[in-house]
Amino acid sequence: MSNQLLQGKSALVTGGSRGIGRAIALAFAAQGAQVAIADYGDDAVAAEAVALLKEAGSARAFSLKGDVSDPAFAKEAAARMKEDFGGCDILVNNAGITDDGLMLRMKPESFDRVVAINLNGAFYMTKELSALMVKQRSGRIINMSSVSGVKGNAGQANYSASKAGLIGLTKSAAKELGSRGITVNAIAPGFINTSMTALLTEEQMARSVSAITLGRAGEPEDIAELALFLASDKASYITGQVIAVDGGLVL
């Protein structure tokens, strides 16, 4: 009998071709899940991610290219999961963007686009994929919020609002879906080494890290470990929670 945490499970990770999303997808594959990723990015990057997933153990891994802010894409994703995997056991709403700027100078389209992808996209995916889970009477939904959604952040009115909205969505969905055996939780990462943080100067990096209690930036794998736990049967009595993985940035 396999002791893999997600043996026989199927998962969809949005924004899964790189960074935190890729780390989560790989962690799931290594623990026995069949994994699909949904992304709007570069085809070559997505193909590389799928190849890595297959190496990790997800023999039927595939990628879907589309914009999560389009409700039609969520319907397409649900249909593909049902067709290829027979359903969906785990959904990770990880796709997200930033477009930082001071609120007084922020263009309305910048605010709208960030909220559309980070929050609306999670709603559309949750709506369509949870319908499959309701039929199964089981499922795990994990939303990627942020410490910016918990405490706010200057220059990120759009991003903070979208991530705070995800917390509200998480709690409401947890209450609606709990009776069907579906848990819904959120992870709030802090300062994590990704392609986004790689754009910072050494001075900006040092200033950011100085505010972290553990004195270092996190890695995508730090987030993936929690996502793996929340997706497993070990977390069957945890729902509606927001768990920070931030090295003590917000205390």
Catalytic hit among 40, 124, 159, 237? 159
- Given the structure tokens 């007084």, which residue do they identify? 104
Domains annotated on the chain, with CATH: 10-190+221-245 (3.40.50.720)
Are the C-beta atoms of 22 and 16 separated by less than 8 Å? yes
- Closest of 103, 96, 2, 112 to residue 57, by C-alpha: 2
- Give phi and psi for 68, each to the nearest 5: -65, -15
Question: What pTM was computed for the model?
Answer: 0.96
Query: Residues 6 or more apart from 43 whose CB is under 8 A from it?
Result: 65
pLDDT mean values, one per 10 residues, the chain (251 residues) = 87 97 98 97 95 97 98 98 98 96 97 98 98 98 98 96 98 98 98 84 89 96 98 98 97 88
Q: What is the pLDDT of residue 199?
A: 76
Token pair for residue 119? 């929050």
CB 118 within 8 A of CB 162: yes
- The answer to whether residue 159 is catalytic is yes
